[in-house]
Amino acid sequence: MATLDPSLAGTGRRAAGGGPPFAAVLALTAGHLLLLYFVLLWWDRSEVASAGWRFALFLATLVAAFGLSRLAGWIAEHPAGRAIRFLPAAFTMILALLAAEALLRAYQVPAGLIPTPTEVLVVLWQARDVLLQDTWQTFVMEAVVGFLIGVGVALPVSLLIARSGFLQQGMMPYAAAFSSIPIPALAPVFVHMFGLDWQSKAAVVAVTVFFPVVVNVVRGLLEIDPRLLDLMRSYAANDRQVFVKARVPNALPFFFNALKLGTTLAMIGAIVGEFFGATGKGLGFRIQIEAGRFGFDIVWAAIIVASALGIAWFGLVAWLERRFTAWHVSLRE
């Protein structure tokens, strides 16, 4: 109806303007409560729930999702604070976890295939000390160290390439080609070369981070608006000034793009590298050993830790990017 008559759609929105749509909130609440009730009811049971229950759980999930989508639509159309705007995302997470918990329990899916979210959280807590040690190994010693080495070497190399026509012609095609080497192909080679400890994984990370940084920074230094160079020349700027005031700022957004890409590559490289041998610690080691023993609760706990770190690291680089390139077109309000 609303699509046929725009004025009706308008009144509909206005009518809802008084407060959140009651039906949506009701559906959301009822769906969640039913799922929660079932989880508590089935907490200690180990038999498959009846077909009626399973149907009810699917229905509850759908109803809650429907309510959530209506509520999210309403929030999007109304001025609201940051906390309110965050609600749809938070409820999506809660609903997904609750529905997974209820359905996995209803069907009695073996923990050796998929553990329930609460089982994962319990193990995350129980294994926190070990996971922290694993994190130190994988994140700090392998991913961050390798990342810093890769970036640290890539920057001077990029400057050299940007200054040398020969290197641009002779090396850039290879840099671009190397940047697409799949990491699992490198890992076993590096494990043989540098041993089983963190050094081999840091080397994998350094190599995978190195090439995207070179490719991007060189582009950033060279792909500069010629009018900018003309302007600098008209100010009688010398080479150093042109470099510092025009080329470097121009390269910064490219550089940060490569860094953001690099954080993801570094986490992948460190974790996958550990699959080819490890010294008894590391998130990749933990995931491999526990997946082999069907300890998927710990596998998921390790995945949560790795994901949280990966997101935080990406966020940190994105924050630095906003601080240092706030003037850039893509970040201007």
Partner 1 sequence: MKAQHIVSMAAATVVAGWMVQAQAGENLAISLQLKWFPQAQFAGYFVAKEKGYYAEEGLDVTLLPIGDQSPIQTVVSGAVDFGTTWIADLLTAREKGLPVVHIAQMFQRSGFAMVALKSSGIENLCDIKGRSVGVWPSGNEYPAVALFRKCGLTSSLDARVADPDVTAVTYPFDPALVFPERVDLVSAMIYNEVNQIIGLGYELDKLDVWMLADEGINLLEDLVFTTEKVLNDPDYKGSGMSGREVAARLLRASLKGWADAVADQEGTVDNYVLPVCGNTCKGSGTRADARGHQLWQMREIAKLFEAGATARGCAGYLEPAAYEASVQLLLDQEILSKAPPAATVDYGPWEMATGKTGADCQ
Q: Give me the residues that bind partner 1 (CB under 8 A), please.
A: 108-113, 123, 126-127, 129-133, 188, 191-192, 195-196, 275-281, 285-286, 288-290, 292-295, 298
CA distance 201 to 186: 10
Smallest gap from Cβ 287 to partner 1, in A, equals 10
Smallest gap from Cβ 114 to partner 1, in A, equals 10
- Please say which residue, 217 or 283, places its beta carbon nearer to partner 1: 283
CA distance 297 to 267: 21
Smallest gap from Cβ 288 to partner 1, in A, equals 5
Smallest gap from Cβ 274 to partner 1, in A, equals 8
Let me know: does 317 contact 308? Beta carbons within 8 Å.
Answer: no
Residue 294 φ/ψ, nearest 5 degrees: 60, 25
- Please say which residue, 74 or 285, places its beta carbon nearer to partner 1: 285
- Please say which residue, 76 or 140, places its beta carbon nearer to partner 1: 140
- Please say which residue, 226 or 292, places its beta carbon nearer to partner 1: 292
Smallest gap from Cβ 192 to partner 1, in A, equals 7
Smallest gap from Cβ 298 to partner 1, in A, equals 5
- Please say which residue, 130 or 176, places its beta carbon nearer to partner 1: 130
Q: Which of 197, 224, 207 is nearest to 146 (CA)?
A: 207
- Please say which residue, 102 or 123, places its beta carbon nearer to partner 1: 123
- Please say which residue, 51 or 113, places its beta carbon nearer to partner 1: 113
Tracing tokens 């996958």 back to the chain, one arrives at 272
- Please say which residue, 86 or 125, places its beta carbon nearer to partner 1: 125
CA distance 54 to 39: 12
CA distance 84 to 117: 25
Which letter does DSSP use for residue 325 in this model? S
CA distance 86 to 108: 33
Q: Which of 224, 281, 282 is nearest to 253 (CA)?
A: 224
- End-to-end alpha carbon distance in the chain: 37
CA dihedral 94, 99, 102, 106 (to 10 degrees): -170
Q: Which of 193, 211, 190 is nearest to 201 (CA)?
A: 190
Smallest gap from Cβ 206 to partner 1, in A, equals 21
What count of Cα atoms within 13 Å lies in the side-chain half-sphere of residue 245?
A: 13
Smallest gap from Cβ 127 to partner 1, in A, equals 4
